[in-house]
Structure 1
Amino acid sequence: MSDRIKISNTDLEVSRINFGGNVFGWTLDEAKSFEILDAFVAEGLNFIDTADTYPWWVNGKGGTSETILGNWMKQRKNRKDLVIATKVGSETKEHSFDVSRKHILKSVDESLQRLQTDYIDLYYTHFDDEKTPLEETLAAYDEIVKAGKVRYIAASNISPQRLIESFEVSKKNGFPKYVALQPHYNLLERAKYETEYLPIVEKYNLTVFPYWSLAAGFLTGKYRSEEDLSKSVRGEGVRKYLNEKGLAVINALDTVSAKYNSKPASVALAWLIAQPHIGAPIVSATTTSQLETLFAAPKMKLDQEDLDLLDKASK
């Protein structure tokens, strides 16, 4: 079994890599998704992240990712061995951001149905709608936790102010508290998390699961020039990183990966894992060779010299 870490204030033990299920039903069909999932758990990893709206950009409403994951768990009969995270509140073509009681109660039942399970381990506020009273959102979570549908709640795209207020509301009313945070954080996106969210993480002892851990693929090192952007469907999304800082970070990753005979992506993930409060980076793979790169990250112990080099290049 691979290394595991306990999510703060819970009894959930998770692997140090969190598989991102946004690829199920998007760049992977069901058969390929099953192959990748089989290889992921064969490595001893147990933590899978999805959302009720993945991949809405394909069909306008989402749901396919949870459906594929549910079919796989049913076929493999392995639900009890896994920690499943999904989310509520995101925008689709059918509705805008929504964390109202009505939407949460409807969405959780739909997610459970698609996942073919009777409980969700970690349920995220995917996006805050910024208008539903926090009391209403957290009271809805209280209902579904008491009903056994959800074990713990977590937060993703919520402003620092509303996040702090949510802890006060939970404490005052005896509602469940967020146990984890899923922020945008990687070697190229540090400032916002480190200045605005890290103090909250420290104060409330949250475990952090960063998304876009590889900066939409830029930190794999495959995009080094304008010509490289046409290499994949995601290429245009990393154009903003093709600058002096981005290339300095790639250089530093090259140096460290050469030292360990590894890949830049493994080093980028190992850097994240080495940061305080980080539980597991969320990252996807569409081939078994990409999976091997993910598997290497938790086994890589970067020394202070490596960390300093990466820190300096990414500041």
Structure 2
Amino acid sequence: MEYRSLGKSGLQVSALSLGSWLTFGKQITDEVAGQLMEIAYEAGVNFFDNAEIYANGQSEVVMGNLLKEKNWDRSSYIVSSKLFFGSSQAKPNQKGLSRKHIMEGCHAALKRLQLDYVDLLFCHRPDKNTPIEETVWAMNHLIAQGKVLYWGTSEWSASELMEAYLVAEKYHLIGPTMEQPQYNMLVRDKMEKEYLHLFKHYGLGTSIWSPLASGLLSGKYNQRMPTDTRMNTDGLEWLKERTLQEQWIEKTCRLTELAAKTGVSMPVFALAWCLKNPNVSTVILGASKTAQLQENLQAIEAVKQLTEQVLEEVEQILQNKPEQPQF
């Protein structure tokens, strides 16, 4: 396993990590969840990603039970939670980024995870109804109390992150260490254009999600529509409509041929492509089967297969490289 600094922090995070969205407490059994965590941990994965909204909190319950059962040294792994959405039945003060929900949401997550602290706490979305000063102060308080070690954001714009940094600088508080954006061969603008100033001047770390574009870049949708995938889960019709675009499937077919020529499978190829970006701290894997996870973990070794020539061929297929800003 390769380890990378989480932005400019001293925290070393495995280049591949394991997420629980749509799987823990919902799509897979607790037994399979335990097997996935065991395989990941034994392969050197040290970061397990979670959120209050995942399976309405049940994902954190499952992960907490498994961590207690495995009894790994607490200093050997990193756990995250995310706050914003609350649960599906959340009342006004049970969601958002107010001081009240941040404090209560963090305490609830710690209880579900059965931990004294979370290593990373993300603001899952920006909150237009809460002053950014309130959010930054609340996060700083949690860090001061030892309940959170680092805080960050997920799917914030560069301008929203800049506001947080400026508030932190003004009041001498701890600003965001990391952002969790979607990033893959088909969705590139934030990581390769919008955030470049933040990488350069603030040392922003990243834990990217959906590196396989919700499974599209695994190649399993190239010829048919399988029935046993998360894309067919009730409530995810929006994801299916957004992801399974004809032009993206056509490009994935061509990428699959290139991956075969390179000597790796399509999912491993797509994950290795994400790892080539030096601004990626860790790539979150979302496996639901043990064989799937074992295959995806091969991406670390596959990175060296992506030569400059191969990367140029990828660009010729994608035709979506963001135009670089001039600093």
Q: TM-score, normalised by structure 2?
A: 0.88
Instruction: Quote how far apart the aligned CAs of 1:185 are.
Output: 1.2
Paired position in structure 2 for 1:3: 2
Whole-angstrom distance in 2 between the partners of 1:245 and 1:214: 12
The answer to which of 241-250 and 304-313 deviates more is 241-250
Q: How far has the Cα of 1:174 moved from its partner?
A: 1.3
Cα pair distance change 1:27/1:35, threshold 3 Å: same
Q: What amino acid is aligned across from residue 270 of structure 1 in structure 2?
A: A
CA contact (8 A) 1:256 1:306 kept: no
Structure 1 residue 250, shift from structure 2 partner? 3.3
Q: SS at the partner of 1:69?
A: helix
Write the deviation string for residues 63-87 of structure 1: whole angstroms up to 9, x where unpaired.
1111111111111111321011111
Residues 259-311 of structure 1: CA deviation (Å, up to 9, x unaligned): 22x21011101000001311111121111110122111111111111111122
Q: Residue 24 of structure 1 aligns with which residue? A: 24
The whole-number CA distance in structure 1 between the counterparts of 2:47 and 2:249 is 30
Once the two structures are TM-superposed, the CA of residue 203 in structure 1 deviates from its matched residue by 2.7
Which residue of 253, 269, 272 maps to 1:270?
Answer: 272
Q: 1:11 to 1:107 in 2, by over 3 A?
A: same
Where relative contact order (Cα < 8 A, 6+ residues apart) is larger, the structure is 2
Which residue in the other structure is 1:295 paired with?
Answer: 297
What RMSD over aligned residues (CA atoms) do the two structures have, in Å? 1.8
Partners of 2:52 and 2:86 within 8 A in 1? no
Matched, 1:281 2:275: no
Do the aligned partners of 2:209 and 2:284 also contact (CA within 8 Å) in 1? yes
Q: Percent identical across equivalent pairs?
A: 28
- State the distance in 1 between where 2:240 and 2:314 align: 19
Q: What are structure 2's unaligned runs of at least 5 residues? A: 321-327
Q: Secondary structure at the match of 2:37?
A: helix
Which stretch shifts more, 140-149 or 76-85?
A: 76-85
Which residue does the alignment assign to 1:37? 37
User: Does the aligned pair in 1 maintain the 2:287–2:293 contact within 8 Å?
Assistant: yes
Instruction: Describe the SS at the equivalent of 1:132.
Output: coil
Question: Does the Cα contact within 8 Å between 2:7 and 2:206 map onto a contact in 1?
Answer: no
Count of aligned pairs:
306
- Partner of 2:229 in structure 1? 232
What corresponds to 1:58 in structure 2?
A: none
Aligned position for 1:251: 254
Measured after TM superposition, the shift of residue 38 of structure 1 is: 0.8
Task: Work out whether residues 213 and 283 of structure 1, in 8 Å CA contact, stay in contact via their aligned partners in 2.
Answer: yes
Q: Assess if the C-alpha contact under 8 Å between 2:222 and 2:249 holds in 1.
A: no
The reply on whether 1:75 has 2:66 as its aligned counterpart is: no
**For 1:240-269, what per-residue CA distance to the aligned partner results, in whole angstroms no more than 9, with x for missing partners?**
443234422431233124322x21011101
1:1-315 equivalence runs, <5 A: 2-22=1-21, 23-55=23-55, 62-78=56-72, 79-90=74-85, 92-95=87-90, 97-225=95-223, 227-228=224-225, 230-235=227-232, 237-239=239-241, 240-260=243-263, 262-300=264-302, 301=304, 302-314=306-318, 315=320
> CA 1:257 to 1:207, structure 2 compared with 1: closer, same or farther past 3 Å?
farther
| TM-score (normalizing by structure 1) | 0.91
**What do residues 99-149 of structure 1 show as CA deviations (whole Å, max 9, x unaligned)?**
000000001111111111111111101111212111100110111100000
Contact 2:83 2:105 in 1 (8 A): yes
* AA matched with 2:184: N
Tell me, in whole angstroms, the C-alpha distance in 2 between the residues paired with 1:10 and 1:172: 20
Q: CA offset at residue 238 of structure 1?
A: 4.1
Gaps of 5+ in 1: 56-61
1:179: Cα distance to partner? Answer: 1.0
Moved more, 133-142 or 8-17: 8-17
Q: In 1, Cα distance between the equivalents of 2:185 and 2:248?
A: 10
SS in 1 for 2:119: strand
Question: Alpha carbons of 1:202 and 1:249: their partners in 2 closer, same or farther (altered >3 Å)?
Answer: farther
Residues 241 and 190 of structure 1: CA distance in aligned 2, closer, same or farther (over 3 Å): farther
Q: Shift of the alpha carbon at 1:202?
A: 2.8
Q: Is the 8 A contact 2:222 2:252 kept in 1?
A: no
